[in-house]
Structure 1
Amino acid sequence: MRHNLVMPPSAPDRGTDQTAPLMIAARPELTGGRRIGVLLSHGFTGSPASMRPWGEHLGALGYGVAVPLLPGHGTTWQQLNTHRWADWYAELARAFDALRAEHDAVVVGGLSMGGALVLRLAADRADQVAGVMVVNPAVATRRLDVRLLPVLKHLVPSFPAIANDIKKPGIDEHGYTRTPLKAIHSLLQAWPSLRADLPRITAPLIYFRSAEDHVVDDASEPLVLDGIASTDVTRIALPESYHVATLDNDAPTIFAESAAFVERVTSA
């Protein structure tokens, strides 16, 4: 099954499909005897490939890591166009429940739409989420073309791709070559209720933000940072990365800061 987390730890296999779900078993002997889980979510039209190095870094420190493949991803953009926000959230919630069943504490993290998904999860499971990590999360936009999606989705099936917004040369996010409009419109439809529920988030939050992002504009950041109820909020600037910062020049900063964050918020 997709959420089987009892597999023995092993060295990452670079020959495997980078878009496949990532699962790493916890090693409590490295984390003070406690089993700590980390759930990471990729973004819209992306895949676990964008989160794999981050997950592997945390797994090497002894954390149990799950990076699910969201429905409609890792196949074709046409297939993604048949799925909606509720499908992606349900998959993430199932992965979270699997981690919670096997770990003493769970921290959640996400990139872009994945950031929105884990914020939704943190609002819905405020008493279960130990901490939240978001990288360029999307909960709003000022882009006119996106605001016209309710009309455009009936006229054209897709837009040009939003994948691979990466400053570092030669890096591939393994995302789609087109952006399906019906699917992304469902993301926008989920934003108002998410923004309204941000005050329900009380868990510590670390917010990573790229200096230059060609996918998510600056509308989301103040809404998240000012909207949540948590008093434990840290913002980390990523000066040398574009949108997919988890694969970009500042990835080591994300890895190091998130590892310290997970250790701190899950201390017994």
Structure 2
Amino acid sequence: MIQQTDFFFEGGRSGVLLIHGLTGTPMEMKLLGKGLHRAGFTVHGMQLAGHCGDVDDLLATGWRDWYASVEQAADAMLGKVDHLFVGGLSMGALLALKLAADRPGRIAGVGVYGATFRYDGWSIPPLARLSFLLPLLKKLGIGRGRSFMEQPPYGIRDERLRAQVSTAMLSGDSAAAGLPGNPWYSLAEMYGLAASVRRQLRQVTAPCLVAHASDDDVASLKNAELVMREVNAPAELLLLDDSYHMITIDKERRTLIDRSAAFFDGIAASNGTQRAAA
């Protein structure tokens, strides 16, 4: 059964839509959301379709369903703010980029956090590195009940936090920490999304803050370099040296909050609008 875990913090007239990753939960965006709200932004941490339930709930959806839920959340936010920024973690970063590509002029800026076009980080097992072949297996009807299980360090360098998150995840509390594995068919959908977004990167004209862990265990720096190279917009690279993949909750989350707030603020100011006090 899917649980609703999205959050909304009302602030000023600049808003940020935050998008979690595949098999994840809005909770992985909440600390970032709270920090941006303290900086004066209105923030919505949305919940992707099919997430925060069981594997069957997730398998009942595909990337077009996930993206449709992003569009719905963006439409709701656009009615509340003058400038809409979007930020996503991992697969959420790809959904954020697609939204910016599809809606030039409507999205003021993008937070690209740990973008994952391919799972090619150092903790990914050799077999899982072949997951880009999964769309073919799905087309052939092979492996519907199979998953790649999450591997230590679970994207988290902070050992205390890692223990808390892994305990919640392995206990089956998907609303708090996401699913403990990535279903093959959902990964196949993610690779379909990645292929679509790669073709659209030149359509991204909103400024991008591309933040990535320099020692990312899940997605190598090649993913961030792809975004920096291909988007048709000013792009700023933020490398985090004391974090793993989950940069929104790991050791340098305050740096990410501060840089994101400053980046979004600068865009709002250059557009000639001052944010109202929260």
Task: Give the structure-2-normalised TM-score.
Answer: 0.82
| Structure 1 stretches of at least 4 aligned residues deviating more than 4 Å after TM superposition | none
Q: Which residue of 1 aligns with 2:261?
A: 259
Match for 2:239 among 237, 245, 248?
237
Q: CA RMSD in A?
A: 1.8
Cα distance, 1:76 vs. partner?
Answer: 1.4
| Structure 2 gaps, min length 5 | 121-127, 166-175, 273-278
Amino acid at match of 2:232: A
- Return the offset for 1:162: 6.0
Moved more, 144-153 or 73-82: 144-153
Is residue 83 of structure 1 aligned with residue 85 of structure 2? Answer: no
1:92 to 2:70 alignment: yes
**Deviations along 1:174-215, whole A, 9 cap, x unmatched?**
121121111120110122221111111111111111022222
Aligned to 1:218: 221
Deviation per residue, 1:135-165 (Å, 9 max, x gap): 1111245564212313555135211126931
Q: Does structure 1 conserve the Cα–Cα contact (< 8 Å) formed by 2:147 and 2:184?
A: yes
Counterpart residue number, 1:7: none
Aligned to 1:157: 146
Whole-Å separation in 2 of the counterparts to 1:162 and 1:39: 29
- Counterpart for residue 71 of structure 1: 49
How far 1:125 sits from its partner (Å)?
A: 0.6
Contact 1:51/1:67, CA 8 A, preserved across alignment: yes
Q: In 1, Cα distance between the equivalents of 2:104 and 2:151?
A: 31
**Distance of 2:263 and 2:97 partners within structure 1:** 17
Instruction: Say which SS state the counterpart of residue 92 (structure 1) adopts.
Output: helix
* Structure 1 stretch displaced more, 174-183 or 132-141: 132-141
Aligned pairs for 1:72-151 (under 5 A) are 72-141=50-119, 144-150=129-135
Q: Which amino acid aligns with 1:220?
A: N
Select the residue among 177, 181, 201 that pairs with 1:178: 181
Q: What code does the residue aligned with 1:158 have?
A: S
Q: Secondary structure at the match of 2:251?
A: coil
Output one character per residue of 1:6-31: Cα deviation in whole Å (capped at 9) or x when no partner: xxxxxxxxxxx9x71010112x3xxx
Q: Is the 8 A contact 1:71 1:87 kept in 2?
A: yes
Residue identity (%): 32
Q: What pairs with 1:22-101 in structure 2 (closer than 5 Å)?
A: 22-26=7-11, 28=12, 35-101=13-79
Deviation at 1:52, TM superposition (A): 0.1
Alignment check: 8 A CA contact 1:20 1:48 kept: yes
The structure whose residues are more often helix, as a share, is 2
The question of whether the paired residues in 1 share the 8 Å contact of 2:112 and 2:209 is answered with yes
The residue that corresponds to 2:195 in the other structure is 192
Number of equivalenced pairs:
243
Q: Give the secondary-structure state (helix, strand or coil) at the position aligned to 2:197.
A: helix
CA distance in 2, matches of 1:162, 1:185: 19
- With over 3 angstroms needed to count, the CA separation of the structure-2 counterparts of 1:201 and 1:151, relative to structure 1, is closer
Query: What TM-score do you get using the length of structure 1 for normalisation?
Result: 0.85
Equivalents in 2 of 1:183, 1:249: separation in Å? 29
Q: Separation in 2 of the partners of 1:238 and 1:264? A: 21
Kindly tell me: are residues 114 and 162 of structure 1, through their superposed partners in 2, closer, same or farther at Cα, counting changes over 3 Å? farther
